[in-house]
Amino acid sequence: MTRAATVKGTGTVTMTVTATLLGLMLVGALGGLMIGYVSYGPGEVLMGLVGLGDPVVAAIVREVRLPRTLLALEVGAALGLAGAALQGLLRNPLAEPGLIGVSSSAALGAVIAFHFGLTTWASWALPVTAIAGASVTTVTLLLIGRWLPGTLPLILTGIALSSLAGALISLALNLAPNPYALNEMVLWLMGSLRDRSMDEVVLALPFLVVGGVLLLSGARGLDALTLGEEAARGLGVNMARLSATIVIGIALVVGAAVSVSGAIGFVGLVVPHMLRPFVGHQPRRLLLPSALGGAALMVVADTVARVLPTNQEVMVGVVTALLGAPFFLALVLRTRRIGP
């Protein structure tokens, strides 16, 4: 088979995967709208969405489930996309915003804005400080990654930064002072989409769109980077510009997502890894499917969190961690087998 035919074939596969993920995402979203305290049929949900039928059903679907579902899609897409981009930028398959401290740093920024009154001054202070937190950690990881290449330094640095962010969140909550400090820590570090409204959906959206566009615009550069920095430069990639674009993009999407949901882990790890066998290893082919896959995974995880028969609703971060942590362990073992 010629190279052109292979590329064309891969492109078709990518389109098929993308279409499948889009379908899964829509089915997941419909499920999210149907399942809750009382389950409704698809007909009732669709009638409710347009404001027809039983006014109680319409109110629940439009005011409670729709914002929550939209937010799950936004946050999931952000984390899936950020995971794929981060893995491309750091050229490391274990890079994930939650695992290496980007999400917890964003949560730290959000906690500072939230608990020290910045959000009463301007609501956008919440995503902006979260974005700042995510930026600091992403840049630190990038610099350390250049200085000490390899998986181990990256993961160890990530653990250190993650612990530091967790400790600073605890300190900030204690300084605030916040009588719910312990509960707040869990909420920020495990993440939840419970009882969110359109306010949060609208607040995060512009940052997610801008960040998403930046990440997708860097896709070709990330493709070149898979060959190494030298080779990428040889192919005409401006590395400083590419790094800045990706770092800002990751900070924007992770910061905006974390500021409305808390730090939800493992989505950015699981989704790109599940998709690589289908779309290949080129970031260009992986980014958009990862966003769609992340959205689909998050909306399903959030629905599972809602329907688990527990006294208190399980946080969605618990569901993603239950799924992602064993996955991560399996990846580590596989990396060890392949590695030197």
Under the criterion CB under 8 A, does residue 48 sit at the interface with another protein? Answer: no
Lay out the site mask for another protein across 87-116 (x = CB under 8 A, - = otherwise): ---------------------------xx-
**Treating both helix axes as pointing N-terminal to C-terminal, what angle do 181-190 and 102-115 enclose, rounded to 10 degrees?**
140
Whichever of 190 and 252 has its CB closer to another protein, that residue is: 190
Whichever of 188 and 278 has its CB closer to another protein, that residue is: 188
Q: How far is it, in rounded angstroms, from Cα 276 to Cα 285?
A: 9
Under the criterion CB under 8 A, does residue 197 sit at the interface with another protein? Answer: yes
Under the criterion CB under 8 A, does residue 65 sit at the interface with another protein? Answer: yes
Q: How far is it, in rounded angstroms, from Cα 154 to Cα 146?
A: 10
Q: Give kind and range of the element (H or E) at residue 313.
A: none
What are the b/e assignments for 122-159, b being 16+ CB within 10 Å? eebbbbbbbbbbbbbbbebbbebbeeeeebeebbebbe
Residue 313, classified by CB atoms within 10 Å of its CB into exposed (0-12), middle (13-18) or buried (19+), is middle
User: Among 293, 294, 328, 299, which Cα is nearest to 316's?
Assistant: 299
Whichever of 68 and 91 has its CB closer to another protein, that residue is: 68
Lay out the site mask for another protein across 5-44 (x = CB under 8 A, - = otherwise): -------------------------------xxx------
Binding another protein by CB under 8 A: which of 195, 217, 234, 322? 195
By CB under 8 A, which span of 55-63, 81-89, 158-166, 238-246 interacts with another protein? 55-63
Residue 34, classified by CB atoms within 10 Å of its CB into exposed (0-12), middle (13-18) or buried (19+), is middle
Binding another protein by CB under 8 A: which of 69, 119, 137, 140? 119
Binding another protein by CB under 8 A: which of 6, 16, 183, 238? 183
User: Among 266, 215, 287, which Cα is nearest to 244's?
Assistant: 215
Binders in 245-274 for another protein, by CB under 8 A: 262
Q: How far is the CB of 59 from another protein (least distance, A)?
A: 5
Q: How far is the CB of 335 from another protein (least distance, A)?
A: 35
Q: How far is the CB of 62 from another protein (least distance, A)?
A: 9
By CB under 8 A, which span of 56-64, 153-161, 271-279, 283-291 interacts with another protein? 56-64
Under the criterion CB under 8 A, does residue 180 sit at the interface with another protein? Answer: yes
Q: How far is it, in rounded angstroms, from Cα 126 to Cα 120?
A: 10
Lay out the site mask for another protein across 315-334 (x = CB under 8 A, - = otherwise): --------------------
Under the criterion CB under 8 A, does residue 60 sit at the interface with another protein? Answer: yes
Q: How far is it, in rounded angstroms, from Cα 317 to Cα 79?
A: 12
Binding another protein by CB under 8 A: which of 5, 43, 121, 179? 179
Can you list the pairs that 135-138 forms with residues at least 24 positions away whose Cβ atoms lie under 8 Å? 135/247, 135/248, 135/251, 135/255, 136/105, 137/100, 137/101, 137/102, 137/105, 137/161, 137/165, 138/86, 138/102, 138/247, 138/250, 138/251
Residues at the site binding another protein, with contacts judged by CB under 8 A: 36-38, 56, 59-60, 63-65, 114-115, 117, 119-120, 176, 178-180, 183-184, 187-188, 192, 194-199, 262, 311-313
